[in-house]
Structure formats: structure tokens, C-alpha cells
């Protein structure tokens, strides 16, 4: 999700004040017919990690998939009001602690039972906008907190260990092994940090892809890192002490405001503000494209190759990431979906809407619940090990459902 929204019509009126009106855009083509029956893969959608939900979209590939069961009804376990809009997405540590920040710049470590604070850390730099940026919990319990143009390392008890400055707003960091961390910023720079160094951390390399980026990086853990920049998908090759751009593919399908999703076979999925979703092979060649409406929701790709994409029509689409065939469709729900989608081990699907509601669906497309959160959802949600959906909303609340 982007930092700001501007319509083409408004931009034209500002640039050319003599215009009395702006022509309406051409009508979008009708969406393809939904699949006759939802087809789900036979295997489990998620793979285990060192914590129930250690990072944004669960892992470094953005699988969006848990190995635990999520809620099957809309019972609210607790609600907690923070000091600003809860746009950042929550994550969950190994002991169940929920780490979530507000746009007020404060990171909260919450008790998963009742939502009370175990500790807080005030970065002193409030942020705005609607870009969902999450902390990262490392295997040793260290929490990496993106705070505007800094990445702050905190101990499991909330003490600052170190801080690394960046040129622009930091997006969600990722790691596979807990030793090398990749993080992007909005200037289009990707940085590799070694966080197991004797002095706490060191910068291994920086690579600038040359333009503005709103997406967080993803990686396969084998030296390939992906980032989005303007309307392009950029692949980087990690060479240890340096990195290079391996390829860049630009469909020129309007700007990309979301992170990429990465399938286990190396297929990278790109969502844009344009008319298609795009899938690329590991060498950067186009594998398939699928007509869709605008998406502000980062795609999630399960371990079984099912790609979930939510869009402005209030619908979540499931694609076979190998072929582009639509195998599932959920909704529509009222309004647009900017929140990312996540799934539990039974392929139950969860997300939030701009209408201020949180939704759950079972794997066959039946709605399980509809919970009114009272404010629009930009935040990317998380699932706990004991079956709770944790989701933030623009009215400053964090809600645990289940």
C-alpha cells in the first residue's frame, strides 16, 4: 500500500488550471467469470518458522501462510487502542508476544492473552500514510523495528541494541537464517545487513535500483532478492560482500505500490495499480499475466503455489502460480481491499477491508465471519499459534479475533 493516493483526474486539474473538468476514464472490461469450483492444493500451505509469525506476510517469500489453525468465528478476544492509526502489520515472537507499532512511532510488545503491554519503545518519529510496514523478529528474539528512516534493533525486553540510518523510509525487513537481513527503503535502495557480527551488525552492501520503491523485499534464501520500483520488478544477486542487478522487468502497467510474492519454484508475482497481475520466471521472462483491477494488496504465495491477490473490487482471487489459471475466488465484500490476505493450515482465508471490517472465509469460499473494526484496514494481519487473527485498523485499534 502506498504512502499517498492521487487520482489522475486530480493531477490533471492541478497541472492545467484552465480545464473545467477531467474526462472520465474508460470503463474497465468485465472481470473473468469465477471458477466453477474452488480447487485447493493437496499439501499444507505454510512451512514452519522459528516463531508463529516472525515477519510481514509470515516469511521471506511472503507466503502469507501459517502452520496453525486460524479462527472459525468472529469472537473478539480483546481490543487495544494505541496512540495512532495501526497501519504497521503485527508480528508474533516465539513466546507468543505480539509486536505491533502505531503511526505514532511506538512499538508495543503485547501479551497475547489480553493485549496489555509487556513493554513499549518510543522511536520519537511518528509516521503517517498507509504503507503497512512490519517489524522482524529474529530467531534469537531480537526485534528489528523500522522507524521512518532508521532500523532499530531491540532486545526481547525492549532495550535498544543498535540503530542503522537509511536514506529514506525503511520498509519491512526479511531474513531466512537470522544472520543476513535484507531491507529496502523508499529511495529504491536495498541493503544487506549482517546482524550476527561481533559488534552487533554491519552493512554488507547497498544497491540502488534507481527509482522510488514502496514494496518490501523478498528473498528465496539462496542469494536472490526481489524488490519493486515504480512499475518494475527488480531481481538482485547477492554475491556476499556486494550485489548486482540480475534483471529488471517492467510491464509498464501503472505504478507498483505493493511487495512481490515469491513461489517456492522461483516464480515472482507482481501486482500493480494497472489492469493485470504479472508472473515472472527466475530468469525474468514473463510466465503469465492475468487481467485484474487495481491492487493495493501485496500478493501472498503459499508453499503449494497458490497465489492470493486482493483488489479494489472487494474480491480475493486465487491463482495457480505456475499457469495463471484462477482456481479460487472469495467475496465480493463491500469496498476495496488494501490489507494483504493470509491463510491458515486449512486454507481458511483472512483479510481486512477499507470499509473497516475483518473477514474470514473457509477454503470452499463460505464466509466464516464479518467483524466491524470501526476503521479502515491498511495493516497486514498475522496469525498466532493459538488461533487468533491479529489485525490493526485506522482508528488506532489492534483487535485479536478467535
* pLDDT mean over 128-149: 93
- Rounded to the nearest 5 percent, the helix, strand and coil shares of the chain are 0, 35, 60
Q: Kindly give, in sequence order, each residue whose CB lies less than 8 Å from that of residue 228, ignoring residues fewer than 6 positions away.
A: 213, 214, 215, 234, 256, 258, 259, 260, 270
C-alpha cell at 369: 465471519
DSSP H or E segment with residue 224: strand 224-229
Query: Which of 27-41, 147-161, 200-214, 262-276 bottoms out in mean pLDDT, i.e. has the lowest?
Result: 27-41
Closest CA to 315 of 287, 288, 334: 334
- pLDDT > 70? residue 29: no
Average pLDDT over residues 166-183: 95
User: For residue range 266-324, what is the model confidence (pLDDT) as tens digits?
Assistant: 999 988 888 888 999 999 999 999 887 788 889 999 999 999 999 999 999 999 999 99
What is the Cα–Cα distance from 335 to 313, expressed in whole angstroms? 7
Residue 26 has pLDDT above 50, yes or no: no
Q: Write out pLDDT tens, residues 42-79.
A: 899 999 999 999 999 999 999 999 999 999 999 999 99
Q: Give me 165's grid cell.
A: 540510518
pTM value surpassing 0.75: yes
- CATH 2.60.40.420 assigned to domain 41-401? The reply is no
User: Do you find a cis peptide bond into 332, omega within 30 degrees of 0?
Assistant: yes
φ/ψ region of 32 (left if φ > 0, alpha if ψ in -120 to 50, else beta) reads beta
What is the rounded average pLDDT for all residues in the chain?
A: 90
Amino acid at each position: 500500500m502506498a504512502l499517498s493516493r492521487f487520482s489522475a483526474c486530480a493531477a490533471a486539474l492541478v497541472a492545467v488550471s484552465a480545464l473545467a473538468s477531467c474526462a472520465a476514464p474508460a470503463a474497465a472490461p468485465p472481470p473473468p467469470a469465477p471458477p466453477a469450483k474452488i480447487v485447493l492444493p493437496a499439501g499444507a500451505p505454510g512451512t514452519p518458522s522459528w516463531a508463529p509469525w516472525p515477519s510481514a506476510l509470515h516469511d521471506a517469500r511472503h507466503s502469507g501462510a501459517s502452520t496453525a489453525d486460524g479462527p472459525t468465528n468472529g469472537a473478539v478476544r480483546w481490543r487495544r487502542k494505541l496512540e495512532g492509526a495501526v497501519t504497521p502489520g503485527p508480528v508474533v515472537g516465539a513466546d507468543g508476544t505480539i509486536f505491533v507499532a502505531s503511526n505514532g512511532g511506538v512499538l508495543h510488545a503485547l501479551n497475547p492473552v489480553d493485549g496489555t503491554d509487556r513493554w513499549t519503545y518510543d522511536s520519537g518519529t511518528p509516521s503517517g500514510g498507509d504503507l503497512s510496514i512490519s517489524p522482524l523478529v529474529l530467531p534469537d528474539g531480537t526485534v528489528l523495528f523500522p522507524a521512518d528512516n532508521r532500523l532499530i534493533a531491540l532486545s526481547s525486553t525492549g532495550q535498544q541494541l543498535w540503530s542503522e540510518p537509511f536514506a529514506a523510509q525503511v520498509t519491512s525487513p526479511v531474513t531466512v537464517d537470522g544472520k543476513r537481513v535484507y531491507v529496502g527503503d523508499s529511495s529504491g535502495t536495498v541493503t544487506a545487513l549482517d546482524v550476527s557480527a561481533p559488534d552487533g551488525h554491519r552493512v554488507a552492501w547497498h544497491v540502488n535500483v534507481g527509482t522510488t520503491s514502496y514494496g518490501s523485499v523478498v528473498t528465496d534464501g539462496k542469494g536472490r532478492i526481489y524488490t519493486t520500483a515504480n512499475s518494475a520488478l527488480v531481481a538482485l544477486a547477492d554475491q556476499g560482500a556486494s550485489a548486482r542487478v540480475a534483471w529488471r522487468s517492467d510491464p509498464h502497467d501503472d505504478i507498483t505500490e505493493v511487495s512481490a510474492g515469491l513461489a517456492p519454484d522461483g516464480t515472482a508475482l507482481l501486482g500493480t495499480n494497472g489492469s493485470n497481475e504479472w508472473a515472472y520466471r527466475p530468469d525474468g521472462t514473463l510466465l503469465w499475466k492475468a487481467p485484474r483491477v487495481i491492487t493495493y494488496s501485496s500478493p501472498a504465495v503459499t508453499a503449494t503455489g497458490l497465489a492470493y491477490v486482493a483488489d479494489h473490487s472487494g474480491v480475493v482471487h486465487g491463482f495457480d502460480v505456475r499457469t495463471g489459471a484462477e482456481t479460487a475466488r472469495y467475496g465480493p465484500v463491500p469496498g476495496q481491499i488494501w490489507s494483504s490476505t493470509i491463510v491458515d493450515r486449512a486454507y481458511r482465508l483472512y483479510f481486512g477491508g477499507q470499509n473497516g471490517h475483518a473477514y474470514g472465509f473457509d477454503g470452499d469460499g463460505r464466509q466464516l465471519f464479518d467483524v466491524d473494526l470501526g476503521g479502515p484496514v491498511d495493516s497486514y494481519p498475522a496469525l498466532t499459534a493459538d488461533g487468533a487473527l491479529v489485525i490493526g485498523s485506522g482508528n488506532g485499534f489492534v483487535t485479536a479475533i478467535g
